Structure 1
Amino acid sequence: MQDIYDTYHPPGFSSMNTYLFVSRAPAYITFLRNAFYAEEITRTLRPDGTTIANAILKIGDTHFMIAEASAGFSDMRTCFYLYTQMVDSMYKNALQHGAEAVFPPSDQDYGDRQGGIKDPWGNYWWISKRLSETDYE
């Protein structure tokens, strides 16, 4: 079955990717840049010249897309699982930029060090570091 997904996708993208519709997309992009060191790759505006039709961002080695929510595409919430070497400092940085604490970083019994936050748009982020180079079992 894997062959059905063996097609070209741009560097940084995989077979399945995140695409968020959010209210106040420019402010959300600013939050992501400040809290998680996201890099904005591209930004395309709608014909009005002010509304984001599509922005491509990158966190770590992962690209994802954001667009301004509208009547046809409502604001959405999700949860992200972010791997980083800097769990504690990334957690604190997100809080300093407006995120809300869900749970503080601690070592989990499934082998991750992890802390949880809720961003100002209502998305949850599990900020994690794998403590060993083993698979989840």
Structure 2
Amino acid sequence: MHVPKGFAVVTPYIFAEGAEEYVRFLEAAFGAREVGRSTAPNGRIANCQLQFGTTTIMVSEASEQFPASRAALYLYVADAKTTMLTAEQAGAEKIMDVEDMPYGDRQGGVRDPSGNIWWISQRLTADPYF
């Protein structure tokens, strides 16, 4: 089996209304980096690949055939509090304050402008199995 570099066996794919603005939000809020894009004849995003460190997600403009989707995503970062503030400044709505969790993460949550939930987590322990 071949999986393209930067992708995982399972890769999140989000359909968003206003995909161009959503891509800009992901860049501003979480430091995502656009690594590929194809556009439809009308100029809208047909597929945009964004890297978050070692993970890639895909974003497309929602349509009647493919309506806007909602997801919950778990994002590991170096500093959960700083990333939460950056996400809020970029337009996300805080849904949970950053707190230390019993499973070894410092975590908070935001809802992005497209309605997706992002659990922003900073690993506090080296134990990969909690």
With normalisation by structure 2, the TM-score equals 0.96
- 1:3 matched to which residue of 2? none
Q: Give the counterpart of 2:25 among 31, 44, 64.
A: 31
Q: Structure 1: where are the runs of 5+ without partners?
A: 1-6
Question: 2: distance between equivalents of 1:46 and 1:120?
Answer: 23
Equivalenced residues, count: 130
Between the aligned residues of both structures, percent identity stands at 42
Structure ID, larger Rg: 1
Q: Give the counterpart of 1:112 among 99, 105, 110.
A: 105
Offset from partner CA, 1:51-106 (integer Å, 9 cap, x none): 11111110111011110001110101110100011111000000011111111111
Question: 2: distance between equivalents of 1:20 and 1:34?
Answer: 17
Question: 1: distance between equivalents of 2:61 and 2:12?
Answer: 14
Quote the RMSD (CA, aligned, Å). 0.9
Q: Structure 2: where are the runs of 5+ without partners?
A: none
Letter in 1 for 2:19: A
Question: 2: distance between equivalents of 1:104 and 1:136?
Answer: 24
Question: 2: distance between equivalents of 1:106 and 1:97?
Answer: 21
Superposition map of 1:38-57 within 5 A: 38-48=32-42, 50-57=43-50
With normalisation by structure 1, the TM-score equals 0.91
Question: 2: distance between equivalents of 1:14 and 1:121?
Answer: 23
Question: 2: distance between equivalents of 1:67 and 1:53?
Answer: 5
Q: Give the counterpart of 1:63 among 29, 48, 56.
A: 56
After TM superposition, what 4+ stretches of structure 1 lie above 6 angstroms from structure 2? none
